[in-house]
Chain A
Amino acid sequence: MCSESGNRFGPDDLAWCCTLHAGCEYPMTKIVTDVVCPFCGVLCDDLEVEVSDDGKTVVEVYNACAVGAAKFLHTAAKDRVKRPRMQQDDGSYREVSYDEAIEYTAQMLAKARKPLMYGWSNTNCEAQSVGHEIAERVGGVVDNTATVCHGPSLIAIQDVGIPSCTLGEIKNRADVVLFWGCNPAHAHPRHMSRYSIFPRGFFTGKGHKGRKMIVVDPRNTDTMKLADIGLQIEQGRDYELLSAFRVAIRGEDLPSTVAGIPKEKIYEAVEIMKNGRFGVIFFGMGVTQSLSKHHNIDIAIMLTKDMNEYTKFAIIAMRGHYNVTGSGQVMGWQFGYPFATDLSRGFARYNPGETTSNDLLRRREVDAILVVASDPGSHFPISSVQEIAKIPSVAVVPDINPTSAISKLHVPVAINAIEAGGNCYRMDNVPIDARKVVDPPEGMLSDYEFLTRVNKRLGELMGVA
């Protein structure tokens, strides 16, 4: 914004405005284009960020949704913590150096017999990879936020596969769009405008008028308000309703209602789906974290597979954190599993229910926790949070949050993708390289740098791997 005229200009106009104001002291800025937003799985890569000429401050953000913009602008917040903080006996925190933090973290991991290394979803693949080296060295368990999010989707994919596509296919081809148990209007704000409902793609010139939208949710959400058909389902009965869709496809009889939905509505929805040219189901926590969990996703996938006998159909998980998908990818090619990977026996093992973070914490099966780039203090059940507060714990997160508030050591790091570049993967698995736009505050490390130094120290403590 021009402080002189008060005008709020777009990126191309600012220079023009300021040439009108002789002696304008508006700081010179530059616009960085093709910026990747590190908030959610939509992974918008068309942001334009205005940064100060010295490359240190984010001044303004264009094209992002409110949440993404806030994350960028937050980098300039005056009250950012910039150095590690160690918990004292009285519960207060004292600032320590990065060197002390590295030593503490390395010692904690070396001493633990089964450390949990959790999070990873707000950092880049390069940092995740170093984390895996550490985990392999110390025989830990690596887990990411899928454990409380789309883990059930990953389990379902392991059971029945997944017919899917990239988001550009939706933009260019899809004419029937279902949102099942998700609310993109709130959780993935630009999803409908960038990919799923409004774009005019190669074969979808009519935009949203050429698309039919079906929403299934127990609540009449803001997403449902946009739908052609809204089905307000009885909570906990998604499995039954999805099954009813499959029964309907096969032309079999249905009971008069299923999951609170009259059978006529079910047959109507299935007809719309069958008559589309290209349909897609997007789904979220409404089905992954309600009764049946992975079975819900499993049967939704099987429904999608059934639909492929009539027309083209795909299904895509609405991934949450901007790089939880990347964590699953890196863990996949290095260890063979997408989350909840137990390395304690020297070879990787996987079984959600046993190797997942909340089970490990609830059962007191781990004796230390390193949290990187996530906030389990906010998202985990209280029994897990209480355990984190008891055992040795380090939180490598940019800000003070409920996790850092109960960890023995808080290591603030550069905010990824804004202050530290790195690769990340979108909800449809497309990899995008997020280049940084500003430098981190003076002297702050990125989590990649911090973990690399911890790994080196562990090499000294534990012998070369």
Chain B
Amino acid sequence: METVTVTIKTQPELFLEADNISPDAFAGKKAAEIVALHAYEGREQYTLGKYFDISGEAGATAADTRIIVKGDVSRVKYIGMKMSAGEVIIEKDADMYVGAWMQGGKLTAKGNVDAFAGIGMKGGELIIEGNAGNYLGAAYRGDWRGMQGGLIRVKGNAGSDIGYFMNGGTIIVEGNADVHIATHAEGGKVIIKGDAKSKIGGQMVEGEIIVFGGIDVMMPGFKYVKDEELEVDGTKAKFALFHGDLGERHPKRKGQVVYGKLYQKI
């Protein structure tokens, strides 16, 4: 794998849209060409070179390309957007849309990320070592097809609206989560290792939510079924299983109604 190091040298006055910082955009390019890729501040088009020092060379394909982003990029949006392969490592805090519409590859954000990380994710791995903002792994506005596949792991806490309209894939939050988890989900799995608040699994058609910590207020449409032993992300424990959301439609398979599943650790 070839590595390109992208170090911020000039902060944007507003915010920088850097959808070109991705293995797919860099693939096959040398530093001199990468420096000329476009970046946007407001309505003005600039180059990556205005804001970043670029060193190294990209691989021939996205899969062969690793990007390391250094420095404070908390005012830079869209890093890793739509990446299909390869690796991206963001060393400090980043702004919105980290790994948005990701299709493959691995993106590690070592700091915090703002809202809309991993929205519309189709595949790949998104690791956030700090905290994540709202709408983690959510669908874009209006789209009933949210996260389709892949893995998102947050080591810190996450905001509200995790996994909105989720269809597939897995989201693991090792810390706490805010309101509205897996609202409208039709598949996929969300694991909260810390505490959740309320409005968990609202309007859920299908899918799985596993909460290790506390739940402040349960949705009225979740009905206790039984206790179950599960191994979840390396931990074996006993969970209470709830079926829901009983206020929502559910498909039938082989004559049986298929509910969403909410597990709470006992």
State yes or no: do A and B come from one complex: yes
Chain A residues at the B interface, C-beta cutoff of 8 Å: 112-114, 138-140, 155, 158-159, 237, 239-240, 243-247, 249-250, 252-255, 258, 291-292, 295, 298-299, 302, 344-346, 350-354, 363-367
List the count of A-B residue pairs having beta carbons below 8 Å apart: 101
Chain B residues within an 8 Å CB radius of A140? 43
Contact assessment for B43 and A346 in the assembled complex, using a CB-CB cutoff below 8 Å = yes
Q: Give chain B nearest CB distance to A359 CB in angstroms.
A: 9
* A-B pairs, 4 with minimum CB distance: A139-B43, A114-B42, A246-B247, A113-B42
CB proximity of B97 to chain A, nearest CB, Å: 8
Chain A residues within 8 Å of B219, by CB: 240, 243
Per a CB cutoff under 8 Å, which of B179, B245, B248 touches A292? Answer: B179
Distance in angstroms from A410 CB to nearest chain B CB is 25
User: In the complex, which residues of chain B have a beta carbon less than 8 angstroms from the beta carbon of A250?
Assistant: 246-247
B247 and A247 form a contact (CB under 8 A): yes
Report the bound CA distance from A237 to B41 in whole Å: 40
| A351 partner residues in chain B, CB cutoff 8 A | 116, 140-141
Within the complex, what minimum Cβ distance (angstroms) separates B187 from chain A? 17
Contact surface of B with A, Cβ cutoff 8 Å: 13-15, 17, 40-44, 96, 115-116, 134-135, 140-142, 144, 165, 179-180, 183-184, 198-199, 202-203, 217, 219-221, 223, 245-248
CB–CB A113/B202 < 8 A = no
Query: B141 contacts A158, CB within 8 Å?
Result: yes
A sample of 22 cross-chain residue pairs with beta-carbon separation below 8 angstroms, ordered by A number, consists of A114-B42, A155-B141, A158-B141, A159-B142, A159-B144, A243-B203, A243-B220, A243-B245, A244-B220, A247-B220, A247-B221, A250-B247, A252-B221, A252-B246, A253-B223, A254-B220, A344-B40, A344-B42, A345-B17, A345-B43, A353-B115, A366-B14
How far is it, in angstroms, between the C-alpha of A114 and the C-alpha of B41 when the chains are bound? 8
CA distance A350 to B143 in the complex (A): 13
- Give every chain B residue within 8 A of A302 (Cβ-Cβ): 203, 248
Alpha-carbon separation in the docked complex, A291 to B202 (Å): 14
The residue of chain A having its C-beta at the shortest distance from the C-beta of B197 within the complex is A291
Out of A113, A138, A354, which one reaches B41, CB within 8 Å? A113
Whether A365 contacts B15 in the complex (CB less than 8 A), given A246-B221, A250-B247, comes out as yes
Closest Cβ neighbor of B248 among chain A residues: A246
- The complex places the Cα of A364 from the Cα of B11 at a distance, in Å, of 13
Task: Say whether, besides A247-B220, A344-B43, A299 and B134 are in contact (CB < 8 Å).
Answer: no
With both chains docked as a complex, state the minimum distance between the C-beta of B216 and any C-beta of chain A, in angstroms: 11
